[in-house]
Structure 1
Amino acid sequence: MKITKQVLAEAWQRTAARHDLLTDVELPPVTNSEDELEEWAEHAEESQDGGLCLLIDEDGTVHGRHGPYREVFVTHDLEQVLYLIAEAAIRGRGGSLEETAGALDRIDPAWGRRFRTGGLDDAGTVEACGRDPLEGLAWIAGTWREQAPYTTLAFFRAEPGQTVDAERLALLYGADPAQVEAGTRLRDLRAVDEGRAHWDRHWKSCCYGQAGGWTYLLHHETPPGAFADKEAYAALGIKDNVWLSATSAKAIYTFDYMRDGHRVDDDWDVLELIRYERGRAPYLRGGELEFLNRAVRRAELDHPELTNTFELYFHALEESLGLCLPRQDFAEGEVRAAYWAGT
């Protein structure tokens, strides 16, 4: 059935009438054009549904927006629209995520399961984590927000069964060949340039290695050899890339994911980590990054003790993509390191 304003209004009226938790929930504003949506936004005030509004295209596609520009879902499925309206309304009342899930259970057990999985369907279940998330990638989240140990955390992965050579990668990006050949460690750099001299030169250094099936290269300034030799870079056999970048002076923290040469971002362009709000999926529902929406929700439910959303986010990246960094090696200075050649 093609979704129209009338179809949606009647469907929501029937849904709300059947459940006492929804009887006072009004249908969010529904528009049929961008101009109409912007006009509504100019006069709208914060509402109980968290600012959700809907734009229906001529073909019946429904776009869910928070405000006139931030798109949070796109679907042709009427049942999904009804669920998302209910989810926004229940979550907007406050309370813990378990309380939100419980309320959705009362409306429809399938909706409760769907909320817990973090996706647009309730297919499958996810086992509880059962371990300390700060022993994984999330350990770095706190200091990374202040650009320590490095501004950019870059990860590279090849086809299954293959690895991206960490030394070749570091050399290609501009690491000092002598230090790479010598197997220089982070503690060696610190020992050579003690005190302020090291920290000044630290901005021209990198750390590299392998963990969790990924090769990582951490650095501050743009590497002098970045992508200079495209053929050599292609020969590394890289299939997936993840870049996490921190600009603390501007409070900008970004996430970029490339898979098979395609940027995975649902055409959102720059993805800022700081926009993530606990209890709300950070990426387009049902989009290319739905796997990360699911992982974030599981991190929230598994670890209510974590109040830092960056720690939750990093834990979700570890669970969904396998990203990790060797905490002990960094703490003891055992991670491989080098300055950029000529510095």
Structure 2
Amino acid sequence: MTSVELSAFMADFATAVAHVEETGERVSCTDGGAPRAVLLCASDLAELEHFAQRNHDGPRPRPTAAREKSLGPVPQGPYTRYLHVDGVRMTFVRERAVAAELRSVEELDWLERNAAMGRQGYMDPKQAAAFKEFLARQPPVGDGIAWIAGSWQEQRPFTVLEFIKGRTCEEVALAYGADPQDVADGLLLHQVREWDERGGSDDVDRVLVFGEAGGWTWLGYHDFDHAISRRLDPPPPEQITLTATSAKGIYDFSYSKDGEYQNPYPLDDSLDARRDMYELIWYTPSEAPFAPDAPLGFLNPHMRRAEESTEWTDGIALFFAGLERAFGVSLPQDGITSGNVCCARPARRTA
């Protein structure tokens, strides 16, 4: 990197700015030989600012004392220098376009450190598409959820399946109105089934069954008497809800991020942000279920991979297989079948 004393730079900034603008190379400005500031092209600074704002590692360092009072724009050759109020940062303009910026070494170090962290989560459109294809080809985690699709359509063993990210299963169960004592005792589903068989009750249809798999909390329940609250505050980072109403042939899928519903349709400003849930019977294998510009358009390649790499033929089972690949959701087949999974009765239940 080219180096110049700050006093020489101030006397002839046009030469340094032209060099930066033409070559893209940065110029180091020193004060008594010690690095004090860096001149860089405006596009480089714009990129750093863009990515740095995605990550904030402490406050941005700012000069605390002005080196020089800002007396107005200073023209030199084709360039005009604008001195910021702190007397250190400078902007250089040519023909109404910003050509270069001067930033302190400390501020530039902060920007580059934060930009490096911000870039880690960024992929250009081509990379993102390739990564999406890669993820869609991955096998499901654990047992997946396609195995339960058939019985779920008949509302067995649950009417509602939910998958919640970022909360423990016990935390979610209590928030949904589960009996704290049942949660603390580790009540198991097979115990409730056995009580029902001995006493002729139907508590098994009222319990909230829950567990964790693949980084998600999963829930299975009926909500015939509205005993389940289904509310979390604040909303979880991600939430998937699948609801079966076999008597009406209605099977719904919804997905939310940070409490914001992800609409199955492209949106425009004039439409309600939540137009509809997605009905699973609308899904036709070999056809993309969502428009590419819909919030749920990212699911399309996962559905296609499920069609190509599984033996499921039922549309709802295939849709579930696509969700396995998209989100890594899973349900323990042996645990649910045998009843060796945690459950809890509603906290406010009649005797």
TM-score (structure 2 length as normaliser): 0.55
Residue pair 1:151, 1:220 contacting (<8 A) in 2 also: yes
Report the aligned-residue RMSD.
Answer: 2.8
Look up the match of 1:220.
Answer: 222
- Deviation of residue 165 (structure 1)? 2.0
The percentage of counterpart residues that share the same residue type is: 37
Corresponding letter in the other structure for 2:206: K
Q: In 2, Cα distance between the equivalents of 1:262 and 1:174?
A: 23
Look up the match of 1:10.
Answer: none
Q: In 2, Cα distance between the equivalents of 1:323 and 1:204?
A: 24
Look up the match of 1:184.
Answer: 187
- Deviation of residue 129 (structure 1)? 4.8
Within 5 Å, which residues of 2 pair with 1:52-67? Answer: none
- Deviation of residue 123 (structure 1)? 4.2
Corresponding letter in the other structure for 2:188: R
Q: In 1, Cα distance between the equivalents of 2:136 and 2:303?
A: 13
- With over 3 angstroms needed to count, the CA separation of the structure-2 counterparts of 1:256 and 1:123, relative to structure 1, is closer
Q: In 2, Cα distance between the equivalents of 1:144 and 1:225?
A: 18
Structure with larger Rg: 2
- Deviation of residue 248 (structure 1)? 0.3
Ranked by relative contact order (alpha carbons within 8 Å, sequence separation 6 or more), the top structure is 1
Which structure 1 residue ranges, 4+ long, deviate > 4 Å from structure 2?
A: 119-123, 127-134
Within 5 Å, which residues of 2 pair with 1:29-108? Answer: none
Structure 2: segments with no counterpart, 5+ residues: 1-124, 268-274
Look up the match of 2:306.
Answer: 299
Q: In 2, Cα distance between the equivalents of 1:260 and 1:271?
A: 19
Q: Which has the higher helix share?
A: 1
- Deviation of residue 209 (structure 1)? 1.1
Q: In 2, Cα distance between the equivalents of 1:131 and 1:325?
A: 14
Match of 1:135, SS state, is coil
Corresponding residue pairs, total: 213
Q: In 1, Cα distance between the equivalents of 2:164 and 2:139?
A: 26
Q: In 1, Cα distance between the equivalents of 2:213 and 2:146?
A: 14
Structure 1: segments with no counterpart, 5+ residues: 1-118, 159-163
- Deviation of residue 285 (structure 1)? 2.3
Corresponding letter in the other structure for 1:234: D
Q: C-alpha offsets along residues 196-218 of structure 1, whole Å, 9 cap, x if unaligned?
A: 835x3222111011111111221
Corresponding letter in the other structure for 2:313: T
Look up the match of 2:279.
Answer: 272
- With over 3 angstroms needed to count, the CA separation of the structure-2 counterparts of 1:299 and 1:195, relative to structure 1, is farther
Corresponding letter in the other structure for 1:300: E
Q: In 2, Cα distance between the equivalents of 1:298 and 1:122?
A: 17
- Deviation of residue 234 (structure 1)? 2.1
Match of 2:212, SS state, is strand
Q: In 2, Cα distance between the equivalents of 1:319 and 1:132?
A: 6
Look up the match of 1:155.
Answer: 163
Residue pair 2:241, 2:255 contacting (<8 A) in 1 also: yes
Residue pair 2:307, 2:318 contacting (<8 A) in 1 also: yes
Within 5 Å, which residues of 2 pair with 1:99-248? Answer: 123-124=129-130, 125-126=133-134, 129=137, 135-158=143-166, 164-194=167-197, 197-198=200-201, 200-221=202-223, 223-224=226-227, 226=229, 233-234=232-233, 238-248=236-246
